[in-house]
Amino acid sequence: MSDDVASLSANQMDALREIGNVGAGNSATALSQIINRRIDMNVPRVSIVPLGEVPDLVGGPDVMVVGVFLRVYGKAPSNILFLLPRDSAFYLVDMLMGKKRGETQKLDFMDESALMEIGNILSGAYLNALFNFTNISLLPTIPALAMDMAGAILSVVLIQLGQMGDHALVIETEFNTDDEGIKGHFFLVPDPGSLETILSAVGVE
C-alpha cells in the first residue's frame, strides 16, 4: 500500500470510522433479526495494519476460524472478510437451523450455505452504508467459505492484497451476542486506489 495510505489524516480516519459505524449498526440489526437475539457491536476500529499482523486481530494465526470472503467490484473495488471462531460459527449454525446449542460439530453443505448467506447480508449492510455516504455503488461477488487456521485463511486472501503493498487499511468490527456465544470480526479492506475514491466522495481530501 502506498505511503499516502499509510499516513491518513485524522479527518480521513474519522470519515472511514463513521462509514464503518453505520455499516456495523446496519449489520448488527440485520443479524439480530435473523437469529432473534440481541447483537452488540463495538465501535469500528480503523487502522493501517502490516499484512503479517492481520491474523493477530482475531486471536493469532493458529486459531481455528470460519472465514467468508467476498470480492467487491465497482468504482471502489475492495475486499470483505467475515471471520468467526469455529465454536462461534457452530453456535450460529445451531441458532440458524433451530438446533440445540452444541449440536453442530461440523459443517455440512446447508450449514455452509447459511453462513455464506449471513456473510452476504452483513456485506450488503456495509455496502449500503458506503453507498449512502459516497453514492458509489458496489457489487459483491458470490461468497467463498473456508474453515482453517486464521493464518492459513488470511494468507490466501492477503496474497492478493500483498501484491498491492505491505499494509492493509482495515475497518474492523467485532460482533457479540448477549450471551457471548458468538463473536465475529468483519473486515472491509479497500484497494489502495479505491480508498482515494471513497475519501474524495465523502469530501475528505
28 within 8 A of 145, measured Cβ to Cβ = no
CATH fold of 5-201, please? Chemotaxis protein chec (3.40.1550)
- Alpha-helical regions (H) of the chain: 10-35, 86-96, 109-134, 150-162, 192-201
Closest CA to 190 of 81, 66, 31: 81
Q: What is the pLDDT along the chain (205 residues), one digit of tens a residue?
A: 444 456 678 888 888 888 888 888 888 888 888 888 888 887 777 877 776 777 787 888 899 999 999 999 999 998 888 888 899 899 889 988 888 889 999 999 999 999 999 889 888 988 998 898 889 999 999 999 999 998 888 877 766 665 555 666 677 788 888 777 788 888 888 887 888 888 888 877 6
Residue 50 to residue 37: CA distance in whole angstroms: 35
Closest CA to 104 of 120, 118, 115: 115
Amino acid at 126: Y
- Biggest alpha carbon–alpha carbon distance for the chain: 51
C-alpha cell at 202: 465523502
Locate the domains of the chain by residue range. 5-201
Residue 168 to residue 170: CA distance in whole angstroms: 6
pTM of the model: 0.82
